Amino acid sequence: MKIKSSFGPQYKEFEVGDIVFLAKDKPLKLTSGAEIKNFPLAYQTYGKLNEDKSNAILICHALTGDQYAASTHPITGKDGWWNFMIGKNKPIDTDKFFIISSNIIGGCMGSFGPKEINPKTNQAYGLNFPSVTINDMVHAQNLLIESFGISKLHAVIGGSTGGMQSLAWANLYPQKVNLIIPLATSYRHSPQNIAFHEVGRQAIMADPNWCEGKYFLERKCPTKGLAVARMTAHITYLSEVALQKKFGRNLQNKDNFSFGFDAEFQVESYLHHKGYSFVERFDANSYLYITKAVDYFDLEKDFGGKLSDAFISLAANPQAKVCLIAFSDDWLFPPSEAKKLTHALIACGINVSSIVIESAAGHDSFLIESAALRNTISGFLNC
């Protein structure tokens, strides 16, 4: 099923791709206590589901990602964010596997989120949208998997926020997945990461065009606030080495300072570009809801401070294996986070592999092609 949607400050229409309506008969109860029913989830698939439906892999996207993991994005026209990983003869081989990539609930690319229309008011939900968590996103993904008639996934793979989703799968549906591959992620968000998210949220809400979350009614968009939020976040996605190597203190198209407040350094121009291109494809209210969902995620707290207890049920699945992938210069989710997860999984007797890939691109390294990343995932999927 394909539907059209509107987006961004120009409110352009675009095709969001395949949509399925879930929880038609029984509502999905969210962590907050709210219930949602007959809600849309947008997704893309690659490859073919085999006869016994045993070759399915779920790909979970990062914070501001979407379902277009290996297909052209309808707004930007760019290749999918993991195009180098998914496809024929690629590490996640579409000749062998059936890949499902869905847009999380709370998102803005066709799935149930704050910019969708509330049938009770015939207006966008805005801040009337219910609070969502990582667990809620995974429960919705499970309903999607069930709609395909799939009883067990060959693998769940995700980076960053998607990695949190893969860990939630290990906790919530341990008997429904064989292989779990979390990349550049953690069992919880650190206080520093929460602080960066809060700066972004405050930037959005301080924009006069935010209109208390009702900017759709005014045909406005909090462009400046959302751009600043993205600029702030993007700093955390890169390492100091990456920034130095890419930009240094080089000026943008000039030899001397102008002694003004326009962007003068290349790094400033880069952040401006990232910020203002982001507003063309992402909804401000979705950013508020999703960042909060990430901040709420804490497997250790959920199990009384004992992280290993989160994976006790996974240990009962004899086919379960976990491959944790961290990147050496990722300061958003440093290798120490993966190390603690590894110890927790080992304590449960789970078959776990853990690797730290040498990198020079910071947190975004999981989105950049490398032989180490390709070989690690390909080897684990085919072991």
Q: Which residues are catalytic?
A: 160, 330, 363
Using N-to-C axis directions, what is the helix angle for 284-296 and 134-147, rounded to 10°? 100
Dihedral, CA atoms, 269, 272, 273, 275, nearest 10 degrees? 160
Sign of dihedral through CA atoms 280, 285, 286, 292?
positive
In this structure, what DSSP letter does residue 144 have?
H
Both tokens of residue 81? 């964010």
Could you tell me the strand order of the sheet in which 177-183 lies? 2-7, 12-22, 39-46, 98-102, 56-60, 153-159, 177-183, 321-327, 351-357
CA angle, 82 then 86 then 87, to 5°? 140
**C-alpha span between 70 and 87 (Å, rounded):** 7
How buried is 191 (Cβ within 10 angstroms: 0-12 exposed, 13-18 middle, 19+ buried)?
A: exposed
